[in-house]
Structure 1
Amino acid sequence: MSDDGLRYYVDGEFAPADEASIPVTDRGFLYGDAAFETLRAYGGSVFHWRAHAERLAETCDVLGLDHGQSDGELRAIIDETLAENDLEDAYVRLSITRGTQAGRLTPADVVEPRVVVIVEPLERGGRGSESVWDGPATVQTVKTRRIPDRSVPARAKTHNYLNGILARLELRVTGADEALMLDAEGYVTEGATSNLFFVHDDALCTPSLDGPVLPGITRRVVLDLARDEGIPIRERRFTPDDVREADEAFLTNSTWEPRPVETVDGIGVGGGPVTTLLSRLYDEYVESRHY
């Protein structure tokens, strides 16, 4: 179906995409006071729903947001939205805001949360599928630093994405696809919307979750696949030079899946046997679970 015919779920009702709306007094709009998850549906079912639900619950715990919905109820809303749009392979975004509490920064004790689900058609995943990206990614290290966990925990996926937006704005000069963000001490963390992997001395390297790094669901799956293959894994702190000198590199998120990296700061990195193997294993994993 065309995007023009999509219908979004907003607070218990479906509305055409171009008419779906929330009040301007919603705290998700006013302050970014909302939790969200980006998911991918394959063959009519959500990929790793349990892991996404657990991460959503952790975000809501950080926000002190008791939305009153069970995981099963939220999953049913997503399934209903997919069915409403006759979609089996799709991008899905689930948002839960604290609702309308106008005129005050301090959250009220009484919460009337607002649930929104947005869907868009995507290519089929799994074996032999077409990628949603149009080629390997170009990556650029940016000046915008990741917010320290003591300020805003990286594990909390909230509507306040200004940190990533500022990072992406820096890419306008070079036209790179993704920003490589560092922490306050200059160590590599992640992309604006992705986790980073690279290969050095035949080991799979990725910044550890001890720093301000989002615990990505795709990141977790890739690490599990690498362990099953006996690929050595290094999770620790890395410098930008470590990445620039890598033998190969790739990015992960729910929409991109594994996406090879072509260059980092203009330096050729490219794909390689580990990236190719893990991409193939990921496709087979999706195929076996969903098709």
Structure 2
Amino acid sequence: MHLPLAAAALAVLSLAVPAGATTSAATHAPSGELCTGFGPQAPRDIRNVSGSNPVTFAKAPPATQMNLCNIHTHTNAEHAGPGFAISHWPGDTSGYRCNETLDLTEAEAEMPHGGHDAYHGVVPGDTIEVHWVYSSCPVAPGEGLGACLSETCANPELRVESQVFLVVNNPQALDFRDFDYAGAAASGRHQPRTLPSGTGTPVEFLGSTTGTSYNASSCSPMQVTWSVRPNCAKLDIASLHAWAAEGNVFNETHSHGVRDLVTAEALLSPIR
């Protein structure tokens, strides 16, 4: 789908890149050098409040004052935090796992019976990071980050509410559909049914879009206010499959990859 430049940038610098998007909006530095000169980047370790990126922008309004425009997941947490501090592979920064991963019961780690595989890229025992993306544009929820803007609103304020889940085979765990789009507006704005609670006070900071196209030498120029909850919660895998099988307005049927953790202070905003 053809998008104007700002829309194309938003799609490809994505927290979830839609099929068919191009990557012309990436900002590259020579290999091994930091892509400085652009705004603060994400994902980050939310336990580290340091950052020296000089670019700043106003934080986006609270989620309740914006329109929900997209929901998607990443397999492995893109951010690191108190409750998701285990490297997916020892020593690297390619995603993190919930601390309780090794404490699952045999039943929780089993594949569910009945062939419930409508949502791909996630199995019991996986960690996923879920992003609820909000826009200041007068838009409705839809597929990809192109849904977050319009022809008359090409440069929206963006906010991402994030929760990391440990996926388990347990119907008593949280149901993902409880956090889906309700199909109706609250106070004239599109909202999810609810957002996760009980996982700690969200850490809020200035950053960028994420996704596998970006690293320390290839920055995203998009400006995003992040709100990342610091602890994991268990999520029933059957509810993810049901979300896909029943159809969702976001056309999400699989979990996405992660961008490596951004660790250079020059690319990070200070957390205040």
Which TM class, normalised by the smaller chain length?
under 0.3
Larger Rg: 1
Q: Of Structure 1 and Structure 2, which has the larger fraction of its residues in strand?
A: 1
Higher relative contact order (CA 8 A, sep 6+): 2
TM-score (norm 2): 0.25
Q: Of Structure 1 and Structure 2, which has the larger fraction of its residues in helix?
A: 1
